[in-house]
Amino acid sequence: MHSDRERCVRAVQSRDARFDGWFFTAVTTTGIYCRPSCPAVPPRPEHMRFLPSAAACQQAGFRACKRCRPDTSPGSPEWNHRADLVARAMRLVADGVVDREGVPGLARRLGYSDRQIERQLRAELGAGPLALARAQRAQTARLLVETTALSMADVAFAAGFASVRSFNDTVREVFALTPTALRTRAARSGPPVAGAGTVALRLPLRTPFTPDNLFGHLVATAVPGVEEWRGGAYRRTLRLPHGPGIAALTPRTDRIDCRLTLHDLRDLPTAINRCRRALDLDADPEAVDAALSTDPLLAPLVRKAPGRRVPRTADEAEFAVRAVLGQQVSTAAARTHAARLAAAYGEPVEDPEGGLTHVFPSPEALTGLDPETLAMPRTRRATLLGLVGALADGSLPLGLDSDWEGARARLGALPGFGPWTVEIIAMRALGDPDAFLASDLGVRRAASALGLPATPGALTRRAAAWRPWRAYAVQYLWATDDHPVNLMPREDTPHDVPVV
């Protein structure tokens, strides 16, 4: 996108928010960089430079605009629909892998050399992994400075800086303000959030945005003790590198209000990234809906409720386990099975605000599972144990660095994994926007009602026209039904259901 100068100039001159995060505008006369929708008067085209990332802008010596705050743009949708080396690397950088494990750890996860990763990231993004991680640290520091009452020293180390001096230098360089000045500016809009481990922030997204099926699905399938709907917010526990956390996510028309309670504030970037992925907030709904609207049978569904997102997950291994628990049983039964596992093997958490009690157990914790305690058929017990074993020993890597087709092949080789289970994991855990549930009952029912082929083979052939957005087509097809997964939960929806 950033290399198409004419298109970028038009987007900046029209202040088109659809391109926020796709590219950044560096202004050579002022030394600042902006998002395309910046409300300031656009500079003359000859004074514009277009760069692919905030890190590239910072590395080129530009500082963030104080009006449009380009460092808080939605993430690039490029990393949503790609599974190549650069896309997988960017997902891991956003998850904090470089800060925790360094560039060698990033390279080890991806199976490439440090040099190869550096070269490919620089070629496409104008910055290497260290610069990208530094840009993320700067944004984390800004959030902590503006939303908490932590001392600046605590902010520096929580954001991942090696010293207070490097923290001060980076903040001044990126934002043209000292950390104290940043906090003073933020204080004009209200006091910081109370609580040493609590951060409140807004998660930006691209409009249009229809949250009904997104939150409906998450709440209707919520595991008691791990997830709940309370006070208009979807709340869930998170397993994070330095300890457990709790996220409360409230949908608005143009954003998600997010409140994070963390055991260790070093986990803030990782928690934000996992919340964004769970809600599919970096999607480009304009591109998705434009492609699906070319089909005359889907177009009315898109016009009725544009901007549907794919309900994903904050923990890939957790979702895979829950997908197996949900095979051939009702939603209520699947919740009950999952809640029992969470209560027996999950890490306990304290939640003074609600009814969350456990983090969903890791595959390693589930390796001690006694199959005789599972109230399910013997064949499904074997399927679950096979999955847990493969996840625990590393032979089935499911994560941000997963190759989608490779993961599909490994899943399909496990006993008890058919096309539906493989594709639901690809769609909701791996984040493949082209995953397609041709054999799903709800999809087939909707297809038949719309006049689409209802058999899996014929429907798959017909759905080729929807590529690479078939996972979004599934959301529109599902939404033709009045099942609770498609409906926005009401404020008075019960927090959970009893476990029996």
pLDDT at position 494: 61
Amino acid found at 171: V
Q: Which two tokens stand for residue 387?
A: 């999955």
Average pLDDT in the 75-86 region?
A: 83
Percent of the chain with pLDDT over 90: 77
| DSSP-derived 3-state class of residue 248 | strand
Burial class (CB in 10 A: 0-12, 13-18, 19+), 409: exposed
Q: How far separated are the first and last CA of the chain, in Å rounded?
A: 53
Count of positions (residues) in the chain: 500
* pLDDT, averaged across the chain: 91
| Architecture, CATH, for domain 5-67 | 3-Layer(aba) Sandwich (3.40)
Span 347-362, pLDDT tens digits: 999 998 889 999 999 9
323: nearest Cα among 453, 455, 433, 417 = 417
pLDDT at position 498: 34
**Cα three-residue angle 441-443-430, rounded to 5 degrees:** 100
Q: Which two tokens stand for residue 167?
A: 């923290």
pLDDT band for 298, please (50, 70, 90 cuts).
Answer: very high
- Whether residue 458 is predicted with pLDDT greater than 60 in this model: the reply is yes
Which helix (H) or strand (E) covers residue 244, if one does?
strand 243-251
Average pLDDT in the 323-337 region?
A: 91
Q: Which segment of 137-141, 187-191, 298-302, 320-324 scores lowest on mean pLDDT?
A: 187-191
Pick among 1.10.340.30, 1.25.40.10, 1.25.10.10, 1.10.287.70: CATH of 192-500: 1.10.340.30
158: nearest Cα among 123, 185, 126, 197 = 197
pLDDT at position 80: 76
- Whether residue 163 is predicted with pLDDT greater than 60 in this model: the reply is yes
- What pTM was estimated for this model as a whole? 0.90
pLDDT at position 455: 93
Average pLDDT in the 215-230 region?
A: 96
Average pLDDT in the 143-170 region?
A: 90
Phi-psi domain of 69 (left: phi exceeds 0; alpha: psi -120 through 50; beta: other) = left
pLDDT at position 497: 41
Domain locations along the chain: 5-67, 78-147+150-187, 192-500
From 34, 68, 258, 275, active-site residue: 34
In the block, tokens 């259901």 appear at: 497
Q: Which two tokens stand for residue 122?
A: 């620089």
Contact yes or no for 57/24 (Cβ under 8 A): yes
In the block, tokens 């070629």 appear at: 123
DSSP 415-457: TT--HHHHHHHIIIII--TT---TT-HHHHHHHHHHT---SHH
pLDDT at position 500: 28
Contact yes or no for 497/226 (Cβ under 8 A): no
From 71, 280, 315, 440, active-site residue: 440
63-64 and 198-204 beta bridge pairing: unpaired
* 65 catalytic per annotation: no
How far apart, in whole angstroms, are the C-alpha atoms of residue 340 and residue 224? 9
Longest dimension (CA), the chain: 71
Which CATH class name applies to 78-147+150-187?
mainly alpha
Average pLDDT in the 244-248 region?
A: 97
pLDDT at position 325: 94
